[in-house]
Amino acid sequence: MTSKILRETYVKRTLTSTESSSSSSSSTNSRQLKYPEQYPATYESNDEEIEEDISIPDAKLIRPLLKNTQLQSRPIQVVYDAEQDGWNPTVFHNAVDGKGACVIFTKDLKEKIYGGYNPKGYSSLGGARPSVAAFIFYEITDSNGSGGDSDEKMKKKKFQKLRKVGGGGLACARDDPDFGISFGPDSLVISLQSSNDGQEGRKAQSKLGPYFEKGPEDLSSLFENNGSTELSILKVFVGCYDDDEDIPYSGGVLDMTSG
């Protein structure tokens, strides 16, 4: 069975399961629409088009992933770009702390895209930040995707979401000022810490299953090369808020759940 058939079967099975459970109660349906991030991430694509995305190509790529999130209809902006700002956890936290929900967007040396959505953001207060709505994602290789201009290629890019499993605990496993990104303790980890020989913290590691699902391809890791890869790009997108708007989860949150 090809990976494409596996993926289609996986999505249909998951959507059918979700639909049947939600249809059991209209009140649950209504609550899910009002408070979407109290439920696991949806596999459905967000078809909203935001005018501000036009000037930010990567935002156009991310937008379809944001259905049923705080950022679904909100303009987003880059607050951290490791290539410009530095591959450093202190610089990372100075840029993202207190900005609320965020999308991690990365590329490896082969230009393949990976990332994740952290609904609770960062604050450098230590500990974990829980959310059942967190997810990570990876670019699906399209065997037919060749030719065309850059805009057409971008439109053809597709991504697979991987939901949080085992409850919301440890969705963001570490919110420490001297550490970078950790979806689960091991699902997508980018420490941003320099190696012993002084090289920049471009290394990303991944192990799937215990905290984020393996997906339709039953992956053991996001990365083929022994569960790790070197990144060429790392950006963080957050919502754009007016000065008089409160940013959800901009401060500390308690993780009272288990991983």
Q: Specify the pTM.
A: 0.84
- pLDDT-derived band at 24 (thresholds 50, 70, 90) equals low
Token code pair at residue 136: 């990570």
The pLDDT score that the predictor gives to residue 199 is 82
Please give the Cα distance from 172 to 129 (Å, whole number).
Answer: 5
pLDDT single digits (tens) 185-207: 999 999 999 987 778 899 999 99
Please give the Cα distance from 230 to 202 (Å, whole number).
Answer: 6
Q: Which residues of 46-83 are buried (b: 16+ CB within 10 A; e: fewer)?
A: beeebeebeebebbbbbbebbbbbbbeebebebbbebe
Token code pair at residue 66: 């944001």
Contact 132, 39 (CB under 8 A): yes
Q: What is the mean pLDDT of the chain?
A: 87
How much is the average pLDDT of 107-131?
96
The pLDDT score that the predictor gives to residue 150 is 56
How much is the average pLDDT of 209-215?
98
Please give the Cα distance from 149 to 44 (Å, whole number).
Answer: 27
How much is the average pLDDT of 227-250?
96
Please give the Cα distance from 242 to 19 (Å, whole number).
Answer: 36
Contact 185, 211 (CB under 8 A): yes
pLDDT single digits (tens) 78-107: 999 999 999 999 999 999 999 999 999 999
The pLDDT score that the predictor gives to residue 258 is 40
The pLDDT score that the predictor gives to residue 8 is 60
Residue whose C-alpha is closest to residue 124's, from 161, 94, 104, 80: 94
The pLDDT score that the predictor gives to residue 197 is 76
The pLDDT score that the predictor gives to residue 144 is 58
DSSP symbol at 169: T
Find the angle CA(43)-CA(44)-CA(48) to the nearest 5 degrees.
135
| Residue type (1 letter), 49 | E
Helix axes 26-34, 3-22, angle to 10 degrees: 110
Is the predicted pLDDT of residue 145 greater than 60, yes or no? no
Q: Residue holding tokens 């496993």? A: 173
Residue whose C-alpha is closest to residue 35's, from 248, 254, 198, 241: 248
| Residue type (1 letter), 107 | K
- pLDDT-derived band at 22 (thresholds 50, 70, 90) equals very low
